[in-house]
Homo-oligomer: A and B are copies of this chain.
Amino acid sequence: MLRRLRYRAGMHSGRLVGRGGATLASLARELGVSRTTVSNAYNRPDQLSPALRERVMKAAERLGYAGPDPVARSLRTRKAGAIGLLLTEQVSYAFRDPAAVAFLEGLTLECDRAGIGLLLVPASPDSDDVRSVTRAAVDGFVAYSMPEDDPFLAAMLARPVPTVISDQPATDAADLVGIDDRAAMRNMADHLISLGHKRIGVICMRLGRDQHNGVVDERRQEGAGYHVQRNRLAGLRDGFEAAGVAWDRIPVVERFDHSIAAGASAAGQVLELDPGITALVATSDVLAMGAIGELRRRHKRVPQDISVTGFDGVKAALDAGVTTVSQPVTAKGREAGRLLLDPAVRHRARQVMLPTTFVAGTSTAPHHG
């Protein structure tokens, strides 16, 4: 009885009157109609006489009822109306990385088309608290370029919703959209070899979740949790070994951060390991741009003294004339979206490989040794 009284009180103070506290039920009660009717007034105006609908809307306005609660509706309909995006880094990083921005543009293009929201899921790399993933109210997920052993990724894959992975990792628990990194980089290797470069250095992005900065040995290369980087290094190795260059003599330097500054410092470290290189291969454009800046600072001319190559084909690099591999990042985003949202596509291929283009820029030149 006590409980019932409290409940009643709630009805009157918290519910009918309180700010923002009106509900579909309270409105129905107030009007003396059923909840169904109120619900229909919002969701199926045609199922209801205009007069009654008008009465409902008026009362709603008067009572400060803003329409059906989205969460309650989602619970009932089993639809969130949104998909989630998961990244390795903090969400804000995505807006600093030109490739991520392009990917997001493509993805949101499809979200717009489908009228579906995109939820950027916070996932702090220095925490293992995956609740943000577990608790995201979404109908599906896209994971953008994550390491194989990421706990957030695992939490995502455990959710009973469809999932698409961009770039990495490959797993049959989810669809994949990516490129053939190994072949693309092999191409780049052949380009350098055809220019006469045999003594090179390499700088690459992070190979694992551990914060490693520095020289990479073969074991680390092969065990890398990021298969995109692993494949790019493998492609490079393919090319150089085919040309008779011993891979283990080539310095490979890793940076955990992906930034201009990281590229610069990595380039510096490579030069200290082997001052005699004639070409520097970066596994991303951002690193390449950082490297070029550092080389110039050290009075090395690019490409006359040292050739530099990148990867990705981001606008800034193309504008700067960096020799690179251009990958269709925006298309990758679109494809990921389509895989998740387009019913026609949803039941077809689960592995989409997009084509890349080799771009000969002005950052590479023949070496006459």
Stretch of A129-137, A193-201, A286-294 at the chain-chain interface: A129-137
What is the minimal beta-carbon distance from A76 to any residue of chain B, in angstroms? 9
The CA of A233 and the CA of B311, in the complex, are separated in Å by 43
Q: Is B120's CB under 8 angstroms from A73's CB?
A: no
- Assuming A92-B108, A95-B105, A95-B108, is B136 touching A70 (CB within 8 A)? yes
Is A301 among interface residues, defined by CB-CB distance under 8 A?
A: no
Q: Is B160's CB under 8 angstroms from A20's CB?
A: yes
Q: Mark A95-111, 1 if CB is under 8 A from B, else 0.
A: 11000011011101101
Q: Is B105's CB under 8 angstroms from A115's CB?
A: no
Q: Is B73's CB under 8 angstroms from A90's CB?
A: no
Residues of B within 8 A of A122 (CB): 111-112, 114-117
The CA of A96 and the CA of B111, in the complex, are separated in Å by 15
Q: Is B111's CB under 8 angstroms from A120's CB?
A: yes
Q: Mark A5-42, 1 if CB is under 8 A from B, else 0.
A: 00000000000000110000000000000000000000
The CA of A115 and the CA of B109, in the complex, are separated in Å by 26
Residues of A within 8 A of B (CB): 19-20, 64, 66-75, 80-82, 84, 90-92, 94-96, 101-102, 104-106, 108-109, 111-112, 114-122, 124, 132, 134-138, 158-160
- Which of B92, B115, B137 interacts with A70 by CB under 8 Å? B137
9 contacts between A and B (CB under 8 A): A64-B160, A66-B160, A71-B80, A81-B136, A92-B108, A111-B122, A115-B132, A117-B121, A119-B119
The CA of A365 and the CA of B92, in the complex, are separated in Å by 38
Q: Is A91's CB under 8 angstroms from B71's CB?
A: no
**Chain A residues touching B, majority SS:** mixed
Residues of B within 8 A of A95 (CB): 101-102, 104-105, 108
Residues of B within 8 A of A116 (CB): 122
- Which of B72, B92, B105, B117 interacts with A112 by CB under 8 Å? B92
Residues of B within 8 A of A94 (CB): 108
Q: Is B91's CB under 8 angstroms from A112's CB?
A: yes
- Which of B19, B84, B102 interacts with A160 by CB under 8 Å? B19
Residues of B within 8 A of A66 (CB): 134, 158-160
The CA of A120 and the CA of B105, in the complex, are separated in Å by 12
Besides A74-B137, A95-B104, 16 more A-B contacts (Cβ < 8 Å) are A64-B160, A66-B134, A67-B158, A69-B75, A70-B138, A71-B80, A74-B135, A81-B132, A81-B135, A81-B137, A90-B112, A91-B108, A91-B111, A94-B108, A111-B122, A115-B122
Closest residue on chain B to residue A104 by CB atoms = B95
- Assuming A95-B108, A112-B92, is B119 touching A117 (CB within 8 A)? yes
Residues of B within 8 A of A119 (CB): 82, 117-120
Q: Is B160's CB under 8 angstroms from A73's CB?
A: no
Q: Is B101's CB under 8 angstroms from A67's CB?
A: no
The CA of A92 and the CA of B110, in the complex, are separated in Å by 9
Residues of B within 8 A of A69 (CB): 75
The CA of A74 and the CA of B137, in the complex, are separated in Å by 8
What is the minimal beta-carbon distance from A108 to any residue of chain B, in angstroms? 4
